[in-house]
Structure 1
C-alpha cells in the first residue's frame, strides 16, 4: 500500500533513487555513487521518511514489502563474496526446525 509521503514533489534525481529503491530490496551507497547519485541525496530521502537506513551504507524503501528473508539479502549484499551457510541456509530451504537469530555467512580464507 502506498503512503501519503511527499514523493510527488521529488526532483528527477530523487525520483530515480525512488525507482531504484522500489525495484530492489536495498540500495547500497556505493551502487548509488556508481550511478551518479550523491550520498547526501540518500540522506535527504531518509530525513523525509521515504527511505529507511537499514544498515551502514544500506537503504530500503520505506513502503517495500519485505519478506522473512530480507536479512539474508542484506547480508548477501554486505559480504559480496560470502555464501549463506549452515543454519541460515537450512532455514531458507525449509530443512530442519531451528531458526537462527543471526545470519551465517562463509567467506574465503583470504577475504578480509
Structure 2
C-alpha cells in the first residue's frame, strides 16, 4: 500500500473533524479502489454508507455523544439527545441536539455525526447545566428537569407525543425532582403550560 495514500487519507480525516465521505477522499485523489483497500487493511473504518472514520486502536468506537461535545466545546447536550441519555424516551434520535448561547459563533460541523445546534438566550442557556462522565470524558448536558422544560417549550417542533412520553417517564422516575422542575418552569416562563400537562398525566 502506497504510504502517500495513507498519509493523504489521514489528512482528509483530520480536515473533516475525523469523519470523511467517499467524495472527500476522491476529491483528494484517493480512488474508490484505494478507499476499499484502506478499509481492508484497517486504516479506516466505515461508519455508514459513504462515511468513514479513522480506524480506532480499540475494538469499540468512541461514544458519539463525546465526539459531539468535543466538536461543539461550548455546547450543552439538550432536548431529545438529553432525554435519550436519561432513558426517558424509547425514541432513538437520528441527530444530536446541542445548545449554545445565542451570541456564540456558529461552530463548524462535519457531515457526520449529524448535529443540530439550538441557539438559546441567557436564561434558557444557563439554567440546569450538569456535567457527566462518559468513557473518561466530561460532557455538558442539561439535567432532567431542564430537559423536560425544554421538551415542553419546543413541543410543537419536537412532537407533542414525544414530549408527553418524556414527561410521563420522568414522573415515574425515582430521580425526579418536582420542586426543581417547577422552579425551572417559573424562571423559563412555561409554568402554566407545564402544569396543564402535569394535571393530565398525574
Bin for the TM-score computed over the shorter chain:
0.5 to 0.7
Q: Which has the larger radius of gyration?
A: 2
Of 2, 19, 24 in structure 2, the residue corresponding to residue 31 of structure 1 is 24
Map of 1:83 onto structure 2: 116
Of 112, 122, 143 in structure 2, the residue corresponding to residue 96 of structure 1 is 143
TM-score, normalised to structure 2's length? 0.32
Map of 1:42 onto structure 2: 35
Aligned residues between the structures: 85
1:66 deviates by 3.5
> Which structure is richer in relative contact order (CA contacts within 8 A, separation 6 or more)?
1
Query: What runs of 5+ residues in structure 1 fail to find an aligned partner?
Result: 1-8, 99-105, 107-112
Map of 1:16 onto structure 2: 8
Q: 1:36 to 1:10 in 2, by over 3 A?
A: closer
Residues 50, 61 of structure 1: 8 Å contact kept: yes
TM-score, normalised to structure 1's length? 0.52
In structure 2, distance between residues paired with 1:78 and 1:63: 16
Say whether residues 1:60 and 2:53 are aligned partners: yes
1:79 deviates by 8.9
In structure 1, distance between residues paired with 2:4 and 2:50: 22
Structure 1 or 2: larger helix share? 2
In structure 2, distance between residues paired with 1:17 and 1:50: 9
In structure 2, distance between residues paired with 1:68 and 1:14: 24
In structure 2, distance between residues paired with 1:79 and 1:59: 11
Q: 1:36 to 1:51 in 2, by over 3 A?
A: same
